[in-house]
Amino acid sequence: MKRNLDILVISDLHLGTYGSEADEVISYLETIDAKKIVINGDFIDILLFNKKYWPSSHMKVIKYFLDLISKGKEIHYIVGNHDELLRKFLNYKIQNFKIVNQLVLDTDEGKVWIFHGDVFDFSIQTQWITKFAGFVYDYMIMFNSWLNKKVVKPLGGKRLNFSKAIKANVKAAVKYFSNFERVAAETAHKNGYKYVVLGHIHSPKIESFDVNGDEIIYMNSGDWLESLSSLEYVDNKWSIYNHTRTEKEYYNDKESRIEMTNKELYKDLLEEFKILKDK
């Protein structure tokens, strides 16, 4: 039986990269039914996309959302820095699906301001440092994923998490993430919002900030590379969902980790586009 959600915020799937855990995304989505879905950036990793790598599991995620769109599900696609080429399609709308830069939702507790968060990189660090750090982090996640699958698991070791350790222990990283969250909360307060929801830094969190005597709630949906998390809003309450990997999902995925050769998936995808176009 599926869990009913009022709002789902999911971000940083990075489809098209080796680190993306698309199988777990599908496993999670099949357990929920959300009235509103917000994809908060970096859904498809256009920046690091490799045309030689497109597993069937990644295509299944695309098809899953297309099915939801064809059924009239309310879905907001917020553009991030890894899929910023989609900004040329801002405000594109088909049925209840729309591509936007940001989104404001009204809840009983107050207005919720949602955007990816990459704009804060430039207010915290210089541009070239931010871009360089971003590339290093992306490739570190890919290497981390490969190492766990090909070396650690076969040897019976415990799964490694390089980026989490760096976030927690490297002074510069700790300072960056702390500043990122504080700047987001202060900016939300300045614009009159009670809640601010971001992705981008791959660190799921819900934290209260005191900004000039007012409580501002900062939230981050995390990612589907390492934390496998999302934000769920049910019965006027926000919470972080943490997906638990199973041995089958994480390690028995040889079939889905191959180049895209399944013609049936492409055929189904084309059919979905045709249905949407006709509507």
The helix/strand/coil state of 70 is helix
| Per-residue model confidence as pLDDT tens digits over 13-26 | 999 988 899 999 99
* CA distances from residue 238 to 146, 149, 189, 220, 241 in whole angstroms, order as listed: 33, 33, 19, 11, 10
Most distant CA pair in the chain, distance: 58
The pLDDT value given to residue 78: 98
Residue 173 has pLDDT above 70, yes or no: no
Closest CA to 20 of 265, 277, 256: 256
Please report, for the chain, the start and end positions of each structural domain, with discontinuous segments joined by +: 3-278
| Per-residue model confidence as pLDDT tens digits over 77-91 | 999 988 999 999 999
Closest CA to 10 of 64, 55, 89, 67: 64
> What's the CATH number of domain 3-278, 3.30.70.2860, 3.60.21.10, 1.10.240.10, 3.30.110.30?
3.60.21.10
Q: What is the pTM of this model?
A: 0.82
| Per-residue model confidence as pLDDT tens digits over 182-202 | 999 999 999 999 999 999 988
| Per-residue model confidence as pLDDT tens digits over 114-130 | 999 988 876 445 555 55
Mean pLDDT of the chain: 83
- For 169, residues 6+ apart whose C-beta sits below 8 A from its C-beta are none
